[in-house]
Amino acid sequence: MSSYKIAILPGDGIGPEVIREAVKVLHDLESTDTLSFEFEEAPVGGYAYDKTGNPLPSATLTLAKKADAVLLGAVGGPKWEPLDYSVRPERALLGLRAELGLFANLRPATLFPPLVDASTLKRGVIEGIDIMVVRELTGDVYFGKPRGVSKNEKGEEIGINTLVYSTSEIERVAHVAFKIARERKRQVTSVDKANVLEATELWRKVVSRVQSEQYPDVALSHMYVDNCAMQLVRNPRQFDVLLTPNLFGDILSDEAAMLTGSIGMLPSASLGEGSCGLYEPIHGSAPDIAGKGIANPLATILSSALMLRYSLNQPQAAHRIETAVGHVLKKGYRTSDIYTEGMKKVSTKEMGDLVREEMGELTV
Q: What are the catalytic residues?
A: 142, 193, 226, 250, 254
CA distance 351 to 333: 8
Q: What is each CA distance from 12 to 9, 75, 291, in whole angstroms? A: 9, 5, 10
Among 42, 210, 256, 263, binds ligand NAD (CB under 6 A): 263
Among 99, 144, 171, 287, binds ligand NAD (CB under 6 A): 287
Q: Which is nearer to ligand NAD, 283 or 309 (CB)?
A: 283
Residue type, 104: A
Q: Interacting stretch for ligand NAD, rule CB under 6 A, among 56-64, 70-78, 205-213, 270-278?
A: 70-78
Dihedral-angle region of residue 64 (phi above 0 means left; psi in -120 to 50 means alpha; beta otherwise): alpha
Among 285, 303, 304, 311, binds ligand NAD (CB under 6 A): 285
Dihedral, 181, 284, 335, 241 alpha carbons, nearest 10: -10
Burial bucket for residue 164 (CB in 10 Å: 0-12, 13-18, 19+):
middle
Report how many residues bind ligand NAD under the rule CB under 6 A: 22
If DSSP states are collapsed to H, E and C, what string results for 103-148? CEEEEEEECCHHHHHHCCCCHHHHCCCEEEEEEECCCHHHCCCCCE
Q: Which is nearer to ligand NAD, 192 or 280 (CB)?
A: 280
Cis peptide before 57 (omega within 30 of 0): no
Supply the minimum distance, in Å, between the C-beta of residue 323 and ligand NAD.
21
Positions 139 through 198 that interact with ligand NAD (CB under 6 A): none
Supply the minimum distance, in Å, between the C-beta of residue 295 and ligand NAD.
4
CA distance 129 to 236: 6
Q: Interacting stretch for ligand NAD, rule CB under 6 A, among 48-56, 69-77, 161-169, 245-253?
A: 69-77
| 77 lies in the site for ligand NAD, by CB under 6 A | yes
Q: Which is nearer to ligand NAD, 74 or 269 (CB)?
A: 74
| 21 lies in the site for ligand NAD, by CB under 6 A | no
Supply the minimum distance, in Å, between the C-beta of residue 352 and ligand NAD.
12
Positions 290 through 349 that interact with ligand NAD (CB under 6 A): 295-296, 299, 337
